[in-house]
C-alpha cells in the first residue's frame, strides 16, 4: 500500500511567539468592589490569563486612604488619591470605575474615553443616568464600555442578551434584581415579620445599607431593568421613563393573602415589548407583584437574584445567582476585563456593541408606554363591613368593566383576627387605568370599610 513519508513534527515547529504584553488596568476605588476585584485577579491570575490570552495587571489604584489601599494591593501597585490621574494615566489600557456615584464618576469615565481607554464599571446608577452620553463618546473614540457587574452581579445576563440570545426577537425580560428587597419579602412571608422588622434584620446582616432608599423604593432595580431593556429591544437607555414602585407601603396582610390565593409577592423588574393594534412600545417598570407560587421566580429566596428572558426562538430561559457581594461582583468585572484583553486588533465595528445593537440599528423612536397603558392581571384586597357584601363588590367591579376571574373572603389566618372581613379579587388582564379608576370608585362604595389595595399579578408564561 502506498504511504506518504512521515515527517517529524519537530522539524515543522516554529519559533515561539513573544508573549503579548499584559493588559494594564487602572482602578478608581478600592472598597467592596475594588478590593474584591484585586483579590480575585491575584488569586486566579493563571486561569484568567489562560482564558484571556494575556495577563491582566493592576498598575495604579486611586483611593481616599492610601494606607488602607496599600494594605489591600501591597507595594507593587502605584497609588494616588487623584481619580483623574488614573483616568488619563499613559500606562493604563482600561479604567475600572469602582467608586460608585454619578457626577464625578461620569467625569472620570468620559476623561478615560477621551484618552482612548476602555472602561469597565459595575455602576448601574451611572449608566442608567448617563449611559447614552457615555456610549456615544465611546463610539466616537473607538473604545469599549463593559458593565456586566452593573445588572445582576454574578449572573452573566448582559452577555446572554447581547451574545447568547442574539438570534432572538426578545419579547420580555423580567426578574428579581435586588437582593435587599428579596430578603425582606422572604422574611415577611416565611416568618410573618412586618416590613420595618424585616428591614432591620437586612441591615443587621449587611444586606441593606444604613440608608436603604435606593433598594426599598425600587430605584436600584429600575437602574438595572433599564439597562436590560436597552439590550433586549435595541432602544436607548430610558431610566427617566421607567415606572418605579418600591415595597415600603407593602403590608404583611397582603403577603399572607397572596399565599392564600397560591401566590408569592416579589419585587420585579419587567421590560416587555408590546406590539398590538395601535400600541407599539415597551413596558418598563418595577413593582411588587404576585407571582404564582409554583413559578420558578417564586422559589428565588433570600438575597438571591434571578432573571428570565422570553425569546421568540429560544423560548424562556432563566439565569440565577448572587446579586451582590465583593467577589461575585469581581467575577463580573474581571469577565469584562478578559473581554477587553481579547480586543487587540479588533475594529470597533466588529465588536459586540455596547447595548447589543449597533448604533445605526438602535430604535430611538421606541417609546416607553405610560403607566395607564400597562396591561396585566391584578390582585385587589377590599375591606368590607360584612362578609355578606362579597356579591356587592363583585357587581360593582363588573359595572366598572373590571373582569373578575376569582373572588373569595380572606381567611382569619391571612387577614388577622382583628382585621374584619376582606374580599380578595383576582382579575383577568386589564389596563392599569381601568384598575386605578375602579379602586378609587370602590373606596367610596357603602359596603367598603377602608382603602382598597391593588397589586399587579405577573404570570410570565412561556
Tell me which DSSP letter residue 105 carries. H
141's CB contacts (< 8 A; 6+ apart) are: 113, 114, 116
Q: How many angstroms from the chain centroid is the CA of residue 81? A: 31
Of 316, 353, 335, 338, the closest CA to residue 150 belongs to 335
Q: Annotated catalytic, 224?
A: yes
Q: Which residue has the cell 467608586?
A: 99
Distance separating alpha carbons of residues 169 and 363, to the nearest angstrom: 14
The catalytic residue among 117, 124, 187, 224 is 224
Total length of the chain: 462
259's CB contacts (< 8 A; 6+ apart) are: 189, 293, 414
- Distances from the Cα of 256 to the Cαs of 70, 126, 185, 262, 268, in angstroms? 51, 37, 11, 10, 18
Of 239, 373, 379, 356, the closest CA to residue 309 belongs to 356
Distance separating alpha carbons of residues 64 and 30, to the nearest angstrom: 9
Distance separating alpha carbons of residues 60 and 80, to the nearest angstrom: 8
Checking phi first, is residue 419 left (phi over 0); if not, alpha (psi -120 to 50) or beta? alpha
Q: Which cell numbers hold the place of 39?
A: 483579590
Active-site residue numbers? 224
Amino acid at each position: 500500500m502506498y504511504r506518504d513519508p512521515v515527517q517529524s513534527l519537530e522539524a515543522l515547529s516554529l519559533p515561539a511567539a513573544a508573549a503579548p504584553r499584559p493588559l494594564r488596568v487602572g482602578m478608581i476605588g478600592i472598597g467592596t468592589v475594588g478590593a474584591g476585584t484585586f483579590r480575585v485577579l491575584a488569586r486566579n491570575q493563571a486561569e484568567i490569563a489562560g482564558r484571556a490570552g494575556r495577563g491582566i495587571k493592576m498598575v495604579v489604584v486611586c483611593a481616599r486612604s492610601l494606607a488602607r489601599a496599600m494594605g489591600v494591593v501591597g507595594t507593587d501597585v502605584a497609588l494616588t488619591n487623584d481619580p483623574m490621574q488614573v483616568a488619563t494615566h499613559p500606562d493604563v489600557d482600561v479604567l475600572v470605575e469602582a467608586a460608585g456615584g454619578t457626577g464625578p464618576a461620569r467625569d472620570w469615565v468620559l476623561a478615560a474615553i477621551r484618552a482612548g481607554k476602555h472602561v469597565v464599571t459595575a455602576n448601574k446608577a451611572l449608566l442608567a443616568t448617563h449611559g447614552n452620553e457615555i456610549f456615544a463618546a465611546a463610539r466616537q473614540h473607538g473604545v469599549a464600555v463593559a458593565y456586566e457587574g452593573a445588572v445582576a452581579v454574578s449572573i452573566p445576563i448582559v452577555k446572554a442578551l447581547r451574545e447568547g440570545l442574539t438570534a432572538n426577537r426578545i419579547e420580555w425580560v423580567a426578574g428579581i434584581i435586588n437582593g435587599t428587597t428579596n430578603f425582606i419579602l422572604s422574611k415577611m412571608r416565611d416568618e410573618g415579620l412586618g416590613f420595618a422588622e424585616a428591614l432591620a434584620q437586612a441591615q443587621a446582616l449587611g444586606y441593606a445599607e444604613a440608608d436603604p432608599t435606593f433598594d426599598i423604593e425600587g430605584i436600584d432595580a429600575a437602574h438595572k431593568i433599564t439597562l436590560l431593556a436597552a439590550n433586549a429591544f435595541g432602544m436607548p437607555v430610558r431610566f427617566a421613563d421607567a415606572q418605579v414602585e418600591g415595597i415600603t407601603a407593602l403590608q404583611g396582610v397582603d403577603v399572607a393573602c397572596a399565599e392564600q390565593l397560591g401566590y408569592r409577592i416579589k419585587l420585579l423588574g419587567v421590560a416587555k415589548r408590546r406590539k398590538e393594534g395601535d400600541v407599539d412600545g415597551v413596558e418598563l417598570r418595577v413593582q411588587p407583584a404576585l407571582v404564582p407560587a409554583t413559578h420558578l421566580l417564586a422559589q428565588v429566596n433570600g438575597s438571591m437574584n434571578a432573571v428570565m428572558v422570553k425569546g421568540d426562538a429560544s423560548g424562556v430561559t432563566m439565569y440565577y445567582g448572587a446579586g451582590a457581594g465583593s467577589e461575585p461582583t469581581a467575577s463580573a468585572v474581571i469577565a469584562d476585563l478578559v473581554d477587553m484583553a481579547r480586543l487587540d486588533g479588533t475594529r470597533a465595528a466588529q465588536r459586540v456593541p455596547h447595548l447589543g445593537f449597533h448604533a445605526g440599528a438602535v430604535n430611538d423612536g421606541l417609546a416607553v408606554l405610560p403607566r395607564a397603558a400597562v396591561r396585566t392581571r391584578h390582585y385587589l384586597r377590599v375591606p368590607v363591613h360584612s362578609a355578606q357584601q362579597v356579591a356587592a363588590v363583585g357587581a360593582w367591579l363588573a359595572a366598572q368593566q373590571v373582569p373578575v376571574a376569582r373572588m373569595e373572603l380572606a381567611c382569619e389566618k391571612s387577614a388577622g383576627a382583628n382585621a374584619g372581613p376582606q374580599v380578595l379579587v383576582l382579575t383577568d388582564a386589564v389596563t392599569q387605568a381601568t384598575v386605578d379608576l375602579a379602586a378609587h370608585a370602590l373606596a367610596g362604595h357603602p359596603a367598603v370599610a377602608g382603602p382598597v389595595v391593588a397589586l399587579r399579578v405577573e404570570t410570565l408564561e412561556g
